[in-house]
Amino acid sequence: MDKKEVASILNDIGVMLELKGENPFKAKAYYNGARAIERLDGDLKTMVEEGTLSNIDGIGSTLEEKITELVTTGTLRYYEELKSSFPSSLFELLQIPGLGPKRVKSLYENLNITNIGELEYACMENRLVTLPGFGKKMQDNILQGIKILKAYRGKFLYIEAYKVAEEIVSTLKMHPDTIDIDIAGSLRRHKELIGDVDIILSANDSQDIMNFFSSLQDVEEIVAKGSTKSSVRLKNGIVVDLRVVSPYEYPYALNHFTGSKEHNTHMRRIAKEQGLKINEYGIFNTVNGELISCKDERDIYAVFDMDYIPPELREDMGEIEAAKAHSLPKLISESDLKGVLHIHSIYSDGLNTIGELAEYARNLGYSYIGISDHSKSAYYANGLLEDDIYRQFEEIDAVNEKYDDFKVLKGIEADILKDGSIDYDDNILSMFDFVIASVHSNFTMAKEEMTERILKALSNPYVKILGHPTGRLLLSREGYEIDMEKILGKAAKEGIAVEINSNPYRLDLDWRWCKVAKEMGVDIAICPDAHDLKGFSYVSLGVGIARKGWLETEDVLNCREIW
């Protein structure tokens, strides 16, 4: 083990001692030892063999013993024991500017934050604003630091990639040579995570457009530049690929670069069976090479006697067979939603009053919202005690008196405790119009235990919706292990809806399970989990997931007038 590795481990030990709240002088001794090793002129291994480490200023007998063990064995038992007492991802937080061991310790102990994704989510819910030693300015600085770190991870949330794509498309539309333009790829298919952004553009001349594209303000690096395809890396780390095609090629290119690999392979197989060839350049008769003219994607599918397949479904998960059988679902749209549930107010960790939330939602055209603040176990989010509930109900009643075409429903996001019980008794739960039951703790339970925990919660007669059913945080935390088929079966039996939590960090229920839920007769509730007014916009993300999961209006609870 060389000097650099030894110094790094000594420094990490100092950090961990601070995280444990040990005597600061003890941590400082390891920091000083790390610097001493880094500055060392001689050969570390030789000094260990000669027993002369203690001659170095800052290296006492304890450190000499630790360094000797590292150099001679390649490991250090003390270091490994310290590491095992922390989640490994906790050290990621130290990469964020302004977050030293003391602040990371506070985040871990007070908010149970163990990684960057959980920290970002906590910032988005304003949980650091009132945390001692933090505040609004520090929270904003942390979010900026996280944004910089995420730029180099290679995967991005849908909402991040979409904003980028929308801006670029809007800019390229203004170029005089642009005829048609659209987003393609996994972004158009509404995948929850995006690797890069694909844009298809039609023009008669591509050269000036390519120059224009590669010189956009947010471009950090030109990855590749050609006459038909160029790739750039933006300052936020997202790679954008632009393909310029002729006007007649446009529908074929858009179709080809939208479909998943599996969808396109299946389509090529069907084309071959009919004596045709389909690719990004067109559909051709394999006998005489003649192009079959299509003015748009609907024409492309019509060639194969198929109904038009919406982009979200193009994953080769039965959509081709359904299109041939003319049995594709009539997918839900955002305008089908009558109201939204799962809204947080200032009573827990939201930023707006109930009156503000009601007026905003009414102006958006909804006929109801469901206030569902956190329950008492969620102390980190100012969960409601019983007295808070009564005060909130009085305020909701007062707001409802103002409207005859809109209603605020009384709900709660109640914690599912470790034993599967809900953290209010039935007398309290019975007062609500609806109860969302969610897991917010003890994520590492074994699959069977976690499944039984949730099944027990779904047996509670007052639970109406299962919130963010896997607890995942995209790009940072895998969902807890559960038997989803059992959960959905129980929900169907009890008449309980399962949430698509539309927060861009969750998008949970996963779209792959939506189709299963639909087939089992489980209602889905598309909820924004809004903590402020802009959170209402998350609904569109949830609708995208619902569409990807084959859902129609009759499958979605809040497509109904429920008051």
| Nearest CA among 437, 448, 434 for reference residue 471 | 437
CATH at residue 189: 3.30.460.10
In a domain, 147, yes or no: no
Domain match, 542 and 449 both: yes
Three-class DSSP category at 273: helix
Range of the structural domain that residue 466 is part of:
334-559
Residues 368, 525 contacting (CB under 8 angstroms): no
In a domain, 146, yes or no: no
Full DSSP string of 39-80: T--S-HHHHHHHT-GGGSTT--HHHHHHHHHHHHHS--HHHH
What's the number of domains the chain is made of?
4
- For the chain, the distance separating the N- and C-terminal CA atoms, rounded to the nearest angstrom, is 69
* pTM of the predicted protein model: 0.82
State the Cα–Cα distance between residues 310 and 115, nearest whole angstrom. Answer: 36
The dihedral over CA atoms of 448, 461, 332, 270, expressed in degrees to the nearest 10, equals 30
Domain match, 462 and 479 both: yes
Among 214, 230, 247, where does a domain finish? 247
Q: Which residue has the tokens 């081709």?
A: 320
Three-class DSSP category at 401: coil
Domain match, 171 and 280 both: no
In a domain, 175, yes or no: yes
Residue 557: count of CB within 10 angstroms of its CB:
23
List Cβ neighbours of 95 (8 Å cut-off, separation of 6 or more). Answer: 116, 149
pLDDT confidence of residue 86:
87
In a domain, 285, yes or no: yes
Domain match, 225 and 197 both: yes
Domain match, 281 and 231 both: no
In a domain, 134, yes or no: no
State the Cα–Cα distance between residues 514 and 505, nearest whole angstrom. Answer: 18
| pLDDT digits 0-9 by tens, 25-48 | 999 999 988 888 887 877 888 888
Average pLDDT over the chain, rounded to an integer? 94
**Cα 374-375-377 angle, rounded to 5 deg:** 115
CATH at residue 487: 3.20.20.140
**Cα 218-224-230 angle, rounded to 5 deg:** 70
Tokens read off for 72 = 């001679």
Among 227, 247, 267, where does a domain finish? 247
CATH at residue 315: 3.30.210.10
Domain match, 496 and 552 both: yes
| pLDDT digits 0-9 by tens, 255-293 | 999 999 999 999 999 999 999 999 999 999 999 999 999
| pLDDT digits 0-9 by tens, 295-321 | 999 999 999 999 999 999 999 999 999
Q: Is the pLDDT of residue 24 over 80?
A: yes
Task: Using pLDDT thresholds of 50, 70 and 90, give the confidence band for residue 50.
Answer: confident
Q: Per-residue pLDDT averaged across 164-185, rounded? A: 97
Q: Which residue has the higher pLDDT, 537 or 95?
A: 537
Domain match, 420 and 456 both: yes
Three-class DSSP category at 563: coil
Domain match, 448 and 530 both: yes
Helix axes 24-38, 61-73, angle to 10 degrees: 50
Identity of the residue numbered 343: I
pLDDT confidence of residue 152:
64
Domain match, 395 and 478 both: yes
Tokens read off for 176 = 């005089």
Tokens read off for 58 = 């800052």
Burial of 540 (0-12, 13-18, 19+ CB in 10 A): middle
Tokens read off for 453 = 């925990």
Lowest mean pLDDT among 134-138, 457-461, 548-552: 134-138
Among 34, 66, 86, where does a domain finish? 86
CATH at residue 69: 1.10.150.110
In a domain, 12, yes or no: yes
Domain match, 480 and 555 both: yes
Domain match, 343 and 317 both: no
Q: Is the pLDDT of residue 182 over 90?
A: yes
In a domain, 108, yes or no: no
**Cα 303-304-309 angle, rounded to 5 deg:** 95
Residues 115, 92 contacting (CB under 8 angstroms): yes
In a domain, 462, yes or no: yes
Could you tell me where the DSSP H helices lie in 459-552?
484-494, 511-519, 539-548
Residues 95, 147 contacting (CB under 8 angstroms): no
Domain match, 370 and 446 both: yes
